[in-house]
Amino acid sequence: METLGGTAFHAIVSMAAMLLIWLIMGKRQIGELSPFDFAVSITAGTVVGAGIADPRIELSRTIVALVVLGILQVGISWLGIKFRKVHRYISSEPTVLVENGQIIKANLAKVRVPVEILLQMLREKDVFDVTEVEVAIFEPHGKLSVLKKAEYLPVTPQQLQLTVGANRILVPIILEGELQSELLKKMGFSLQEIDDFRQKYRDRIDDVFIAFMDKQHNLHITEDNIQENNVFFH
């Protein structure tokens, strides 16, 4: 039992330390990490996994290794921000794969992307005709940025010289019967107004699954007992 308890403790502490490293890296997804950041994350995972699986590895050694990796990641990231040459060494540069409707074969080979994958990535951007593309850029994090030619872009109200209203943003002020007082405060409600709101809707709040409010304080309520009406058949 002592071994199981020690393993559990080792796992919890190691994962907490690894989570701290991820927070230090910033709010990025795996696909958005630079090659160096990805290497740090893989190494950290290996260190944690080895420490949990092998009881002979002391917890202190695992923590020290994670701290060193964290310091190394922060230091290299700082150098990359401070010195552009360092950034270019640890991260790839954006590469143009399509220009003026023409696929650049040499650049495909440079980033090792088969033409089939390029066409798939274009389709994911709603491009089924490569001649519509002004420029397509393969970004360092592995995603494709696409700009269509002007004649294929959607028409905007500005181009038509139309006046449109501001976007309507809905804020969830009730979640599963719980009034979100802090959100109401951010929307300008005083404590008295929040209390008045709670009193006004006290008979309905418990039955609300989610309720949204816009900037004009209009409500859109979804009751807890809403059922589908069988419009769609499978």
- The pLDDT score that the predictor gives to residue 202 is 85
CATH superfamily of 171-223: bsu07140 like domains (3.30.240.20)
SS3 state of residue 222? strand
The one-digit pLDDT tens for each residue of the chain (234 residues) are 346 666 777 778 777 877 776 676 665 555 556 677 777 778 888 888 887 777 777 878 888 888 888 888 778 777 777 777 766 666 678 899 999 999 999 999 998 999 999 999 999 999 999 999 999 999 887 889 999 999 999 888 888 888 888 888 899 999 988 999 999 999 999 999 999 999 988 888 888 899 999 988 888 888 877 666 665 554
Give dist(CA 205, CA 30) in Å, integer: 40
Domain assignments of the chain as residue spans, ordered by start: 2-89, 95-152, 171-223
Give dist(CA 140, CA 124) in Å, integer: 18
CATH number of 95-152: 3.30.240.20
The pTM of the whole model exceeds 0.75: no
- The pLDDT score that the predictor gives to residue 1 is 38
Give dist(CA 107, CA 91) in Å, integer: 17
Residue closest to 55 by CA, chosen among 121, 3, 107, 110: 3
